[in-house]
Amino acid sequence: MTFDRRQFLMVTGSLCGLTLATLVRNAFGPPAHQALTKNRTTGSNQPLSSSPVATGPTPTSNPSPAPKGLATTIKGDVRIVVISDLNSQYGSTTYEPEVDQAIALIPAWEPDLVLCGGDMIAGQKTSLTKSQIEAMWRAFDQHITKPIRNAGIPFGFTIGNHDASGALDQGKFIFDSERQLASAYWNNPQHETGLQFVDRSGFPFYYTFTQKDVFYLVWDASTHIISHEQLAWASKSLASEGAQQAKMRIAIGHLPLYAVAVGRDNPGNYLANAEQLRSLLERYHVHTYVSGHHHAYYPGKKGHLELLHTGALGAGPRKLLNSNLPPTKTLTVVDIDLNGESTRYTTYDMKSLSMIDIKILPRVIDAPNGRIFRRDVSEP
């Protein structure tokens, strides 16, 4: 969905833009091999206990589990199902058929985790009432998280602009009521995510968790500005002993570093100072940055960082830049080889349930803020 009153996203961005590069540099902190910081919540580098911790569906003897009739690859050491941008029109309490179908199919892939790239409900409109927003979260629970909880699958997510936008006006949240209601939903004990948290002090907006030797960092990229405080927190979290001893590190945020979709290639629809942010993630050996918002699937990379731009499951899929392919609603299964520190993607067109061949996607996308490459293409 498009931004409501897009100028709100830019109110503080123009003021912060001149200084953000300096803030990013200040947030880099010490190299990963230097002194490691302790967990903010526990005072240690050990994960917090989470009650209860979901363990995923009971595995079968099938080495390549998938819904009946769908092809897939051999399951990796870790399997993640990645979905994003589930919502429909403003205030909607219904979901597109592809969303409900995807949620019903997920257990058959036997994932260890479901990750959502944000925009789970259809907010970011000041005229929406408290009762309307609460109704959207109830519908989200009924359609999305309740079936996933019942299947025993942990659910990780990042907040999108339509869930609880972090846009500011004169230092105050424009959509503060939406952020309060999002926090109330996610901190309700009945809505347990099943995650093994390391630091949930900023949950649900920013937090870290671990699972099966993978360290996950989620930051609030519901606007194009990552705050100085969050950058400092991200640097400390990624430098921690727990993060660096993990076999892989993955970061998740709603807005991408680089634009990939038609109509989303203007400032405010991708993160400011992408090169500095990429340097921060690369400094601490983050393998992949997972994002949503652009409603277009593109498995990219730049430098040493892989970029999983997740397609939309809900309304409004978009065309890729540098491409004549029609818009497609997608779901991606990520299989991780921990020893090889590598990932394999199996992505489905959720209308036809056919697998998407990576070779049909653009080899290169020239975004306004930088060139990115398809993940199987060698950079010059």
Backbone φ, ψ for residue 211 (5° rounding): -165, 125
Q: Span 69-91, mean pLDDT? A: 96
Tell which wins on pLDDT, 42 or 119. 119
Angle formed by the axes of helices 13-27 and 274-283, nearest 10°: 20
Q: Span 323-331, mean pLDDT? A: 97
Q: What is the pLDDT of residue 188?
A: 98
In the chain, how long is the greatest CA-to-CA distance? 57
For the chain, first and last CA: distance in Å?
A: 35
Backbone φ, ψ for residue 183 (5° rounding): -65, -40
Q: Span 155-161, mean pLDDT? A: 98
Backbone φ, ψ for residue 367 (5° rounding): -75, 160
Distance CA 72, CA 347 (A): 9
Q: What is the pLDDT of residue 20?
A: 41
Tell which wins on pLDDT, 157 or 10. 157
Burial, 89: exposed, middle or buried (Cβ in 10 Å; 0-12, 13-18, 19+)? exposed
Distance CA 240, CA 38 (A): 7
Q: What is the pLDDT of residue 52?
A: 61
pLDDT at 349 exceeding the cut of 80 = yes
Q: Span 167-192, mean pLDDT? A: 97
Distance CA 248, CA 225 (A): 26
Q: What is the pLDDT of residue 380?
A: 85
Backbone φ, ψ for residue 173 (5° rounding): -70, 125
Fold of the domain built from segment(s) 7-59+75-374: Purple Acid Phosphatase; chain A, domain 2 (3.60.21)
Tell which wins on pLDDT, 14 or 83. 83
Backbone φ, ψ for residue 358 (5° rounding): -60, -25
Q: Span 238-250, mean pLDDT? A: 98
Task: Report residue 71's pLDDT band, with 50, 70 and 90 as the boundaries.
Answer: confident
pLDDT at 175 exceeding the cut of 90 = yes
Tell which wins on pLDDT, 158 or 58. 158
Instruction: Tally Cβ neighbours within 10 Å of residue 154.
Output: 24
Peptide bond connecting 30 to the previous residue in cis, omega within 30 degrees of 0: no
The sign of the dihedral angle between the CA atoms of 134, 139, 331, 324 is: negative
Tens digits of per-residue pLDDT, 260-296? 999 999 999 999 999 999 999 999 999 999 999 999 9
Distance CA 317, CA 85 (A): 9
Tens digits of per-residue pLDDT, 138-156? 999 999 999 999 999 999 9
Q: Span 164-179, mean pLDDT? A: 97
Distance CA 27, CA 233 (A): 8
pLDDT at 21 exceeding the cut of 50 = no
Kindly compute the dihedral angle of the four CA atoms of residues 308, 309, 313, 314, in this order, to the nearest 10 degrees.
Answer: 150
Q: Which residues pair with 330 in a beta bridge?
A: 349
If we measure between CA atoms, which residue out of 157, 183, 189, 158 comes closest to residue 52?
189
Q: What is the pLDDT of residue 7?
A: 42
If we measure between CA atoms, which residue out of 221, 297, 227 comes closest to residue 253?
221
For tokens 């659910």, the residue is 155
* Amino acid present at 289: Y
Task: Report the mean per-residue pLDDT for the chain.
Answer: 89
Whether the CB-CB separation of 265 and 368 falls below 8 Å is answered with: yes
Task: Report residue 62's pLDDT band, with 50, 70 and 90 as the boundaries.
Answer: confident
Question: 3-class SS at 48?
Answer: coil
- pTM comes to 0.86
Distance CA 171, CA 360 (A): 44
What the block records as the tokens of 80 is 């993640």
pLDDT at 3 exceeding the cut of 80 = no
Calculate ∠ Cα 160-212-34, nearest 5°.
85
Whether the CB-CB separation of 254 and 296 falls below 8 Å is answered with: no
Q: What is the pLDDT of residue 47?
A: 55
Distance CA 213, CA 66 (A): 23
For tokens 């970029």, the residue is 307
Q: What is the pLDDT of residue 309?
A: 98
Q: What is the pLDDT of residue 104?
A: 98
If we measure between CA atoms, which residue out of 186, 189, 210 comes closest to residue 198?
210
* Amino acid present at 77: D
Q: What is the pLDDT of residue 58?
A: 66
As a whole-number percent, the residues of the chain with pLDDT over 90 amount to 82
Distance CA 375, CA 196 (A): 30
Tens digits of per-residue pLDDT, 181-235? 999 999 999 999 999 999 999 999 999 999 999 999 999 999 999 999 999 999 9
Out of 42-51, 69-78, 246-255, the most confident range is 246-255
Question: CA–CA distance from 282 to each of 96, 287, 334, 343, 363 (Å)?
Answer: 36, 8, 20, 17, 22
Q: Which segment of 18-27, 75-84, 220-229, 285-294 scores lowest on mean pLDDT?
A: 18-27
